[in-house]
C-alpha cells in the first residue's frame, strides 16, 4: 500500500490541499471567538471554587456580596432547583455544598463588570469542614479507602469495567518459554488549548428561547446541559458554536457546565451574561487526560511469538465522570496493542478519587496505553534477546490475523509502514550504535513505536450522522451537518467531500458551522470520526443532490437537443457543469440549471442520514466486531539525552500514518505536526501536578508545554490504501497523529540511557534519578 501520490484515486476535489475555509479569518485575526462577543446591556458571571479536595460547606454567608452595588445575583446550591447535572453516572455538579475536588463550584455570581464579579466572589464567606479524601489509584483501591461516591463504595467505577477474554490465557502461560511482568504509570495532563472556556447567553424576552454562544466542542452536548439546568425543552435552547480556539476533547462537559451556569444567571437577571474562564479556572475544572496504572504480563516462546497476554488497566476518573465508561471500551479493545495474540485476558476499569476528573483528550486512552505497551514490547524483546523490530514483525497484525477482540483483519499495512519508516531513519544501525555509547555527558537515542486504532466510534456508539445540502439559484451551495469544526479543518474537509460528491468546485461550497436550531444532532465530533464516518452523510447527501440536479437538468429541457439523453442517468455533473456521457464537449452550467430549477419550483436541497453497519461485541468477553476498520501508524523518535542533567532534547520525529485517503494532504500534515508536539509534551515535560487533590501548576509558567523552539525536525510520510469503509476511503488521523509519539520517545530514552522510565513524563529529575523528586 503506497505513499500518497503513488496510488491513483482519480478524485476531482479530494487529495488536494485546498485552502482552509476559515484560514484567512484566523490568520488575519478577523475570526470571532465566544469571548470576543459583546451585546447591549451585557453583564458578567463568575464562579467561586472551594479549592478544597473533599469538604462540606458548613456555613455560607452571601449577604456582603449581595450588598455590593452592581452585583445582580449570588446563587448557591441551595438556591438552584437542580444543582446536579445530567451528565454521567456520577454527575458533575453545577453547584454543590459537598465539595469532591478542588474545582467544585460552591456559588456563582453575576455583576455589571468583571472587577465587580471578582469583588463579589471575594466577599462570599464560606466555612468548610474538611473530609478525608482519596487521591491516587493505588490508594483508591485499598480496602477501607474513603468512598468518593456512596453508590461506588470501593471506589471502583463498575460501569466502566470492560473485560477482554480471548482464547485461554492460562494455557497460554503454561505453554510459554518465558513470562514477563511490568507496571507503568501515566500522569494527568491538560489539553492546553489556546482559548479558555467562554460562553455568552442571551434570552429572547418574547419566546423565552435561550441563545448560547459558546466555545463548545459539541454544541448539541452543551444544549443538553442548558435545557437541564433551566428545566426547559431542548427546542427552547439554541447553541451557536463560535470559532473554537482548540479543544482536543476538553470542551465537552466543561463547556456544558459553564453554559448551564451562565444561562441560569442570564434567565435570573434578564440580561445577556458572559462567563469566561481564566487559565487557572480552565486548569481546575476542565477534564484532564486520565492517568492510568498499567500492569501487563506476557508469555512468549523462544522463537518470539507472544502466546499469552494479561493486563489490568486502571484509570483515575477523578471525582465525577462522564467519559471513563465509554473510554474504557476503546482501552479494552486496544489492550494488547497492534499485535495478534491467541490468548488475551485484560480488565480495564476506572476508580473515583478526589481529583479533577479525567475526560476525553486526543487519544481517548491510547496515548497512555501505548506508552506502556510499546515499552513493554521492547522489554519483552530484550529479555528474549531479540531486536525489537524483529519482535514486532513476528507479532504485529497482518491480513487475516485477529486483534484483541477476535476480529479478522484486512487491509493491514502496519508492517509495510514500519519497515518503510525504520529503513528511512536507519533505525536498526543507529539503535545498535547508540546502545554502545558510554559518554557520561550526552548520548543519542532512537525509539520506535507502532499503533493501530479503531476508526471512529465503533462499538462504543452508533457512528451515524445527518447532513443537508442546498443549491441556490446562483449555483452556490450550502452544506450543514451536526458535526462541528474544532480547529481540525472539518469545514474544509466536509466542503471538499461535498464538492466531490455533488460535482461542483470546492470554492462554490460554504459551511458556516453549527447552530442547534438549524440541523439535527449528528452525534459528537470526537473519536477522530468527523471526516471518516461523520462525513458519510455529507457524501451521501452530495450524491443525492447530484442526482436531483441531473434530473432537473433533463426535466427542464437542457439536453433536449441531444437525442441520446433519455434520462438523468445519461448525463454527468462534474466541476460545476453537466454534460452527456456521449457528448462531453457540450456543457451546461450548474448555475443555469439551479436558476431554472428555482423558478420552476423543483427540489434543490436534500437531507440524508447515514447509518453504518453495526459493530457488535460481547460485553463479557469483548469478542466480536469492535470497529469497521483500523488506521495504522509508526513513529520513530530521535533524541539526545544530557546524562548529567536529565534533559531530553527531541531532535527528529519521523511519523508515518495510513490515512486511507488523504482528503486534504495539508490538513493531514497539520494534524500530524501538532500531534507530534503534543506527544512530545506528554512524554517529556507535561504533568498536572496534584498533591492531595490540589493542583500545583495552574498556568503555563509551570505547566510546561513544548514551544516553537522545542519543536523537532519532523518527517511525515502519508500512506493511502484502498479500504473503502470510511468516507471516500478516509481513515482517522486526529488521534493517531499523537497517540504513539510518547512511546517512541520513551523507547529512545531507553536506547540512550539504558534506563526505563516507567512513570511518565521523562522530566529532568526522572531521567537523571529514575524517580520523581517529590
Partner 1 sequence: MQKLSYLKPESLQQALEYLNQYNAKVKPYAGGTDLMVQLREGSSRLKDVEYLMDLQDIAELRGIEVKDDCISIGAMTSHTQVNESEVLRRYVPFLSVASSTVGSTQIRNKGTVGGNICNASPAADTLSPFVSLNARLTVVSVDGAREVMVKDAMEKAGKLKLAANEMVTRIVIDRLDGYETAFIKLGRRKALAISRMNAAVAVKLEGGVIADVRIAPGCVFATPDRVECAEALVKGKAPSAALFEEAGKAVSEEMIKRTGIRWSTEYKKPVVEALVQRALCRACGLPED
| Binding residues for partner 1 (CB under 8 A) | 115, 118, 439, 441-442, 644-647, 685, 700-701, 704, 706-710, 763-765, 768-769, 773-774
Nearest to 314 by CA among 350, 344, 290, 357: 350
To the nearest whole angstrom, how small is the minimum distance from the Cβ of residue 685 to partner 1? 6
* Residue position matching grid coordinates 512468549: 300
> CB under 8 Å to 596, separation ≥6 — which residues?
552, 556, 558
- Bridge partner residues of 185 (DSSP): 293, 759
Kindly tell me which of 119 and 382 has the beta carbon lying closer to partner 1.
Answer: 119
CB of 749 to partner 1, least distance (A): 16
| Burial label, 23 (beta-carbon count in 10 A; 0-12, 13-18, 19+) | middle
Which residue number, 68 or 386, has a Cβ lying nearer to partner 1? 68
Cβ of residue 713: shortest distance to partner 1, in angstroms?
14
CB of 188 to partner 1, least distance (A): 17
Contacts of 161 (CB under 8 A, 6+ apart): 328, 347, 348, 349
Q: Say if residue 568 is exposed, middle or buried (CB neighbours under 10 Å; 0-12, 13-18, 19+).
A: buried
Q: How far is the CB of 397 from partner 1 (least distance, A)?
A: 36
CA distance 242 to 747: 41
d(CA 395, CA 301): 11
For partner 1, the closer of residues 206 and 773 by Cβ is: 773
For partner 1, the closer of residues 342 and 646 by Cβ is: 646
Residue 205's CB: how many other CB atoms inside 10 A? 8
We find the least distance from the C-beta atom of residue 617 to partner 1, in angstroms, to be 42
Beta-carbon contacts of 354 under 8 Å, excluding residues fewer than 6 positions away, are 53, 54, 100, 101, 133, 134, 135, 148, 319, 693
CB of 104 to partner 1, least distance (A): 21
Inter-residue contact 229 to 263 (CB < 8 Å): yes
What is the C-alpha separation between 178 and 645, in angstroms, rounded?
36
- Measured from the CB atom, the residue of 265 and 768 that comes closer to partner 1 is 768
Residue 322: which of 283, 362, 352 has the closest Cα?
352
CA distance 5 to 38: 47
Q: How far is the CB of 705 from partner 1 (least distance, A)?
A: 8
Minimal distance, residue 21 CB to partner 1, in Å: 31
Report the alpha-carbon distance of residue 571 to residue 13 in Å, rounded.
Answer: 19
Residue 563 or 709: which CB sits closer to partner 1?
709
Rank residues 393 and 442 by Cβ distance to partner 1 and give the closer one. Answer: 442
d(CA 339, CA 331): 15
Give me 85's grid cell: 447535572
604 or 676: whose CB is closer to partner 1? Answer: 676
Quote the least distance from Cβ 347 to partner 1, whole Å.
36
Q: Are 513 and 241 in contact (CB under 8 A)?
A: yes
**What values do phi and psi take at 3, rounded to 5?**
-75, 160
CB of 640 to partner 1, least distance (A): 10
HSE, CB side, 13 Å, CA atoms: give it for residue 680. Answer: 29
Phi, psi dihedral angles at 121 (to 5 degrees): -60, -40
Radius of gyration of the chain (CA): 27
CB of 769 to partner 1, least distance (A): 6
Q: Which CB, 726 or 742, lies closer to partner 1?
A: 742
Q: Identify the sign of the CA torsion 351, 357, 360, 362.
A: negative
Between 622 and 706, CB nearer to partner 1:
706
Spell 253-275 as b/e; 16+ CB within 10 A means b: bbbbbbbbbbbbbbebbebbbbb
Minimum distance from CB of 680 to partner 1 (Å)? 10
Nearer to partner 1, 156 or 764 (CB): 764
Residue 323 has which C-alpha cell?
467519559
Smaller CB separation from partner 1, 429 or 699: 699
Nearer to partner 1, 147 or 643 (CB): 643
Q: How far is the CB of 285 from partner 1 (least distance, A)?
A: 19
Q: Which is nearer to partner 1, 59 or 441 (CB)?
A: 441
Do 646 and 767 meet the contact criterion of CB atoms below 8 Å apart? Answer: yes
Nearer to partner 1, 217 or 763 (CB): 763
CB of 441 to partner 1, least distance (A): 3
> What's the per-residue H, E or C state across 28-93?
CCCCCEHHHCCCCCCEEEEEEECCCCCEEEEEEECHHHHHCCCEEEEEECCCCCCCECCCCCECCE
- Residue 774 CB, shortest distance to partner 1, in Å, is 5
Residue 720 · residue 4 · CB < 8 Å: yes
Q: Which is nearer to partner 1, 109 or 541 (CB)?
A: 109
Residue closer to partner 1, measured from CB, 264 or 277: 277
3-state class (DSSP) for residue 285: helix
- Helix, strand, coil proportions of the chain in percent (round to 5)? 30, 25, 45
Residues 6+ apart with CB under 8 A from 432: none
SS3 assignment, position 283: helix
Select 151 or 645, whichever has its Cβ closest to partner 1.
645
CA distance 447 to 430: 10
CB 164 within 8 A of CB 739: no
State in angstroms the smallest separation of the CB of 771 from partner 1.
9
What is the C-alpha end-to-end distance of the chain, expressed in Å? Answer: 48
What is the smallest separation between the CB atom of 203 and partner 1, expressed in angstroms? 30
Residue 510's H or E segment, with its range, is: strand 509-510
Amino acid at each position: 500500500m503506497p505513499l500518497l501520490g503513488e496510488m491513483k484515486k482519480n478524485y476531482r476535489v479530494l487529495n488536494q490541499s485546498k485552502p482552509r475555509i476559515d484560514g484567512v479569518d484566523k490568520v488575519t485575526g478577523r475570526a470571532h471567538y465566544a469571548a470576543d462577543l459583546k451585546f447591549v446591556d451585557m453583564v458578567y458571571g463568575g464562579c467561586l471554587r472551594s479549592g478544597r479536595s473533599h469538604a462540606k460547606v458548613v456555613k455560607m454567608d452571601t449577604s456582603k456580596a449581595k450588598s455590593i452595588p452592581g452585583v445582580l445575583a449570588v446563587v448557591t446550591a441551595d438556591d438552584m432547583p437542580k444543582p446536579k447535572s445530567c451528565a454521567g453516572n456520577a454527575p458533575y455538579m453545577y453547584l454543590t455544598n459537598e465539595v469532591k475536588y478542588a474545582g467544585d463550584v460552591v456559588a456563582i455570581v453575576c455583576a455589571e463588570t468583571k472587577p465587580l464579579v471578582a469583588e463579589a466572589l471575594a466577599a462570599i464567606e464560606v466555612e468548610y469542614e474538611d473530609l478525608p479524601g482519596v487521591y491516587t489509584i493505588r490508594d483508591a483501591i485499598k480496602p477501607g479507602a474513603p468512598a468518593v461516591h456512596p453508590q461506588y463504595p470501593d471506589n471502583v467505577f463498575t460501569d466502566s469495567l470492560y473485560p477482554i477474554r480471548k482464547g485461554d490465557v492460562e494455557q497460554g502461560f503454561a505453554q510459554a518459554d518465558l513470562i514477563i511482568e511490568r507496571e507503568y504509570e501515566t500522569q494527568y495532563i491538560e489539553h492546553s488549548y489556546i482559548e479558555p472556556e467562554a460562553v455568552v447567553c442571551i434570552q429572547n424576552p418574547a419566546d423565552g428561547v435561550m441563545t448560547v454562544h459558546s466555545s463548545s466542542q459539541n454544541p448539541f452536548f452543551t444544549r443538553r446541559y442548558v435545557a437541564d439546568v433551566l428545566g426547559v425543552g431542548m427546542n427552547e435552547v439554541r447553541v451557536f458554536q463560535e470559532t473554537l480556539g482548540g479543544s482536543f476533547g476538553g470542551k465537552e462537559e466543561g463547556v456544558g457546565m459553564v453554559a448551564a451556569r451562565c444561562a441560569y444567571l442570564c434567565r435570573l437577571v434578564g440580561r445577556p451574561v458572559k462567563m469566561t474562564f481564566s487559565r487557572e479556572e480552565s486548569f481546575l475544572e476542565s477534564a484532564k487526560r486520565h492517568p492510568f496504572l498499567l500492569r501487563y504480563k506476557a508469555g512468549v516462546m523462544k522463537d518470539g511469538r507472544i502466546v499469552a497476554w494479561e493486563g489490568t488497566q486502571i484509570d483515575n476518573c477523578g471525582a465525577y465522570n462522564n467519559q471513563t465508561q465509554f473510554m474504557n471500551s476503546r482501552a479494552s479493545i486496544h489492550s494488547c496493542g497492534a499485535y495478534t495474540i491467541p490468548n488475551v485476558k485484560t480488565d480495564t476499569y476506572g476508580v473515583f478519587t478526589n481529583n479533577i476528573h479525567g475526560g476525553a483528550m486526543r487519544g481517548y486512552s491510547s496515548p497512555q496505553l501505548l506508552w506502556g505497551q510499546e515499552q513493554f514490547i521492547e522489554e519483552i524483546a530484550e529479555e528474549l534477546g531479540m531486536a525489537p523490530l524483529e519482535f514486532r514483525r513476528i507479532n504485529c497484525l497482518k491480513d487475516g490475523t485477529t486483534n484483541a477482540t477476535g476480529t479478522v483483519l484486512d487491509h493491514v499495512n502496519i508492517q509495510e509502514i514500519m519497515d518503510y519508516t525504520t529503513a528511512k531513519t536507519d533505525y536498526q544501525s543507529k539503535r545498535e550504535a547508540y546502545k554502545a555509547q558510554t559518554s557520561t555527558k550526552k548520548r543519542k537515542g532512537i525509539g520506535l513505536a507502532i499503533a493501530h486504532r479503531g476508526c471512529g466510534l465503533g462499538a462504543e456508539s452508533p457512528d451515524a450522522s445527518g447532513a443537508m445540502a442546498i443549491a441556490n439559484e446562483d449555483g452556490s451551495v450550502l452544506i450543514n451537518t451536526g458535526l462541528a469544526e474544532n480547529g481540525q479543518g472539518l469545514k474544509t474537509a466536509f466542503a471538499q467531500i461535498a464538492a466531490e460528491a455533488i460535482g461542483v468546485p470546492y470554492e462554490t461550497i460554504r459551511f458556516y458551522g453549527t447552530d442547534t436550531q438549524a440541523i439535527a444532532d449528528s452525534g459528537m465530533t470526537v473519536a477522530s470520526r468527523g471526516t471518516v464516518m461523520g462525513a458519510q452523510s455529507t457524501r451521501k447527501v452530495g450524491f443525492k443532490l447530484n442526482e436531483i440536479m441531473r434530473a432537473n437538468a433533463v426535466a427542464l429541457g437542457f439536453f433536449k437537443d441531444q437525442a441520446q439523453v433519455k434520462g438523468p442517468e445519461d448525463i454527468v455533473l462534474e466541476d460545476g457543469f453537466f454534460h452527456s456521457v456521449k457528448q462531453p464537449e457540450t456543457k451546461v452550467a450548474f448555475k443555469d440549471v439551479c436558476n431554472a430549477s428555482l423558478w420552476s419550483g423543483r427540489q434543490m436541497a436534500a437531507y440524508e442520514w447515514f447509518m453504518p453497519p453495526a459493530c457488535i461485541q460481547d460485553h463479557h468477553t469483548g469478542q466480536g466486531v469492535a470497529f469497521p476498520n483500523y488506521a495504522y501508524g509508526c513513529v520513530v523518535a530521535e533524541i539526545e539525552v544530557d546524562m548529567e542533567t536529565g534533559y531530553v532534547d527531541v531532535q527528529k520525529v519521523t511519523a508515518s500514518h495510513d490515512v486511507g485517503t488523504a482528503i486534504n494532504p495539508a490538513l493531514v500534515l497539520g494534524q500530524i505536526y501538532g500531534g507530534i508536539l503534543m506527544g512530545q509534551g506528554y512524554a517529556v515535560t507535561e504533568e498536572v501536578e496534584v498533591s492531595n487533590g490540589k493542583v500545583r501548576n495552574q498556568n503555563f509558567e509551570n505547566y510546561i508545554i513544548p514551544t516553537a523552539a522545542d519543536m523537532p525536525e519532523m518527517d511525515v510520510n502519508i500512506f493511502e490504501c484502498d479500504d473503502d469503509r470510511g468516507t471516500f476511503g478516509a481513515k482517522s488521523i486526529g488521534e493517531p497523529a499523537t497517540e504513539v509519539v510518547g512511546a517512541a520517545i520513551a523507547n529512545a530514552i531507553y536506547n540512550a540511557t539504558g534506563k526505563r522510565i516507567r512513570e511518565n513524563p521523562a522530566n529532568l529529575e526522572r531521567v537523571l534519578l529514575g524517580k520523581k523528586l517529590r
